[in-house]
A and B are shown apart, each in its own frame.
Chain A
Amino acid sequence: MSLIEVDARRRDHFIVTQIGQLRFRRRGRDRIVAGVAGGLADTLGVSDAFVRAAFVTLSMVWGLGVLVYLALWLMALDRVEDTDPEPVATHQAVGLGLAFGGCMLFLGALGWWPSNALVLTVGALSFGTAALTDRNMPGPLVALVDPSVDRPGRLRMLFGVLLLIGGLAVFSSSVGPISGIGPVVLAVALTGFGILVAFGPWVTRLARDLGTERRERIRQEERAEMAAHLHDSVLQTLALIQRSDDPARMSILARHQESELRDWLYGNAPLEGADLLSTALKASARRIEADHQVPIDVVVVGDHPLNEDTRALLGAANEAMVNAAKHSGAERISLYFEAEDNELIVYVTDQGKGFEPTAVANDRRGIAQSIKARVQRAGGEAEIESEPGEGTEVVLRMPVAAG
C-alpha cells in the first residue's frame, strides 16, 4: 500500500469516526420525557434547557415541535447512551440560536402559525426560563451581583430576564383587550408567574443540593463505620502478622481474621450466648484456636438447641479440644458434630502423637476421665481411642428425644 493510499484511508477513517460521533442518541440520565432533547443537546454541544425551549416554541406552530420530537424518538428508539458532550464555543451556540430564530421567522412570514402573540409569548418565556436555568449558577437574581459569576453568565441572566419581561408584556398586551380578566387579577397572575420563573430553578436546585448532601453524609458515615471496623480487626491482624516470625502463628492469625471478617461481611456474627449447639461449638473452637495456636476445622451436620444436657456435651468437647491442642502436637484438629434423629455425636480428632490409653495414670488420663464423667452425668457416653503415633479421637454421644 502506498503512502498516499494509507493517507486516504486514514482520512476516510477520520471522517467516519467524526460522523459516528455525531450519531444521535437519546440520553439516559437527566431526562424529562424520553431523553430526546437531552441527547440532541449533547450532540450539538449546547445547553439542554435551550433545546427544550426550542421544542416548546416549535410546538406552538401546529404542534411541529411534538412531531419533530416523536420523529427523533423513533430514530433513536434503541440508542440510549450517556456521553459527555464537548461544550461548543459561544459563537457556535449563538449561531445555532440565530438559525433557529431565522427558521421561526421564515415560518411566520409564510403565515404558518395560529397567532403571532402565542408563538412570541411562549418563545420568549421558554427561552427566558432556559437562560435562567443553569446548574452551575446561583439563583438568577443573585447571579447579577455574585462575584463568582463571570460576564457571559451575567449576560445570559440579563438576557433571560429581558426575554421574560418581553414575553409577559406581549402576553398581557394581547390578552388584556380580548378577555374580560380584570387588570388586578392579570397583574397578580403575571407577578406570581414572574417570581416562579425567577426563583423556581433556584429553589429546586437548593432542594436537590440538600438531597445530594444528605446522601453524601450517609455514605461517609457508612465508610467511617467500615473503616473503624477494618481498623480494629483486619489492620490490627495484619500488623500482628508483620511482627510475627512464626509461620504457625501467622497462619492462625490469618485464619481467625478470615472467619471473623466473613461473619461480619455476611452479617452472621455469632451472638454471645447463642442458643444453638453448632454455634456454641464453633465459638469454642475459635477461642481454643486463638489461645493455643492450633487450627481447628469445624464441620457441622444438623443442629440442636443448647440445654442443660447439651451444655455438658459442649463442655466435654471443649475439654477434648483443649487437650488435643495442648498435648497431641498435631498440626490441626478436626471437630465434627452431627445431630441424628435420636442421638448427638461429637468427634474430636487429631493426627498427633497419641498415647497408650491403658498406661499408668498421668494428667492426660485424668483429663480423659473428667471428659467421660461429664458426659455420663448428662446421660451420654464418651470413648477415647488412641495409640502412640496414631493420633487420638474422642467420641462423645448423647441420646436425645426424637424429633
Chain B
Amino acid sequence: MRVKVYLVDDHRLFLAGVKAELSEEFAIVGSAYDVDTAIEEIRGLEPDVVLIDVHMPDGGGIVVVESVGETNPEVKFLALSVSDQAEDVIGMIRAGARGYVTKTIEPGDLVDAVRRIDAGDAVFSPRLAGFVLDAFAGVMPTEDDPELDQLTTREKDVLRLIARGFAYKQVARKLNISIKTVETHVSSVLRKLQLSNRHELARWASKRRIV
C-alpha cells in the first residue's frame, strides 16, 4: 500500500510543485492552504505523513501539529519550510514534528525524508543537527531528569556527522554501526528534544533568531 501523504502550505505555487514531485511515489490524499482546513481534513483523512509549512496565517504550522497531535497522535509531521531560523525549527520539533527540512531540499532527498518519517524515524537536516548540538552544549542538566537533558557521546558523534553533510548511510559507515543504529540515535535525540523541559532550550531558541 502506498504511503498516504497530506500537504499544507499557504504558498500555492510551491504546494503544486511539491505535489508534482511526490505524486509518483506516494498517494497524495489532499492538501490545504490554511490552518483550519488542514486540521479538519487531516483528522478526517488520517494520512500517514503530513508535510507542513511553518509560517502561515492563524498561528502557522505549530497550531496544526499541536491540534492534530491531541486527537490523532499516529499522524506524523515533517516540517518543510523556507525558514531555517532556530526558533522555527526547534518550535516545530517541540510541537511534535518528527523532522524538519528546508524548501531547498532536493526532490529525491524529500522522497527519502517522507519514507523515513513514515517508518517512524526522525529526519534531521544538517542545520537542525547543528541547532541541537548547540542547544544541548555546555549547560548543566537540571535535577528532574538528567538523562533527558544530555546527549550521549555517541548521539553527539552522529549529530556532528549529519551536521557535516553526511547522509545516514555514510554516518553509519564512518562510525562502523548499522543504519538502523544511526536511526535509533537520531530518534532518541528527537525524543530528548521534545520531552526535555529545560527552560534553556526555549531561551536558547529565542536568543538566536538567526544562526
Contact = CB atoms under 8 A, between A and B. Distances in A.
Interface of A: 255, 258, 262-263, 266, 268, 297, 299-302, 332, 334, 336, 338, 341, 347, 349, 351, 393
A338 B133 contact: yes
Given A301-B133, A301-B134, A301-B163, A334 B209 contact: no
Nearest to B103: A258
Contacts of A393: 164
A-B complex: 4 closest residue pairs judged by Cβ atoms:
A334-B165, A299-B130, A299-B163, A336-B164
B91 to A, nearest CB: 16
B127 interface: yes
Contact of A255 (B85, B104, B133, B166): B104
B134 A302 contact: yes
Contacts of B126: 297, 299, 334, 336
Given A266-B209, A336-B163, A299 B104 contact: no
A268 B165 contact: no
Contacts of A255: 104
Nearest to B82: A258
Interface string B166-178: 1000000000000
B129 A299 contact: yes
Interface of chain B, helix or strand or loop or mixed?
loop
A393 B127 CA distance: 18
A297 B211 CA distance: 12
B165 A301 contact: no
9 contacts: A262-B210, A268-B210, A297-B127, A297-B165, A300-B130, A332-B165, A336-B163, A336-B164, A338-B133
Interface residues of B, number: 19
B166 A338 contact: no
Chain A CB within 10 A, most for which of B127, B134, B163: B163
A136 to B, nearest CB: 36
Contact of B164 (A262, A266, A332, A347): A347
Contacts of B211: 300
A303 to B, nearest CB: 9
Nearest to A339: B137
Contacts of A268: 209-210
A349 B164 contact: yes
A334 B164 contact: yes
Interface of B: 82, 85, 104, 126-127, 129-130, 133-134, 137-138, 160, 163-166, 209-211
Given A297-B165, A334-B165, A302 B137 contact: yes
Chain A CB within 10 A, most for which of B104, B130, B166: B130
Contacts of B85: 266
Contacts of A266: 85, 209-210
Contacts of A349: 164-166
A333 to B, nearest CB: 8
B84 to A, nearest CB: 9
Contacts of A336: 126, 130, 160, 163-165
Nearest to A393: B164
Chain B CB within 10 A, most for which of A300, A302, A351, A393: A300
Contacts of B127: 297, 299
A386 to B, nearest CB: 14
B134 to A, nearest CB: 5
A173 to B, nearest CB: 64
Nearest to A303: B134
Contacts of A262: 210
B160 A338 contact: yes
Contacts of B164: 299, 334, 336, 347, 349, 393
Given A299-B127, A299-B129, A349-B166, 20 more contacts: A263-B210, A268-B209, A268-B210, A297-B165, A299-B126, A299-B163, A300-B134, A301-B130, A301-B134, A301-B163, A332-B165, A334-B126, A334-B164, A334-B165, A336-B126, A336-B163, A336-B164, A338-B133, A341-B138, A351-B165
A266 B211 CA distance: 11
A297 B125 CA distance: 11
A300 B82 CA distance: 19
A381 B210 CA distance: 30
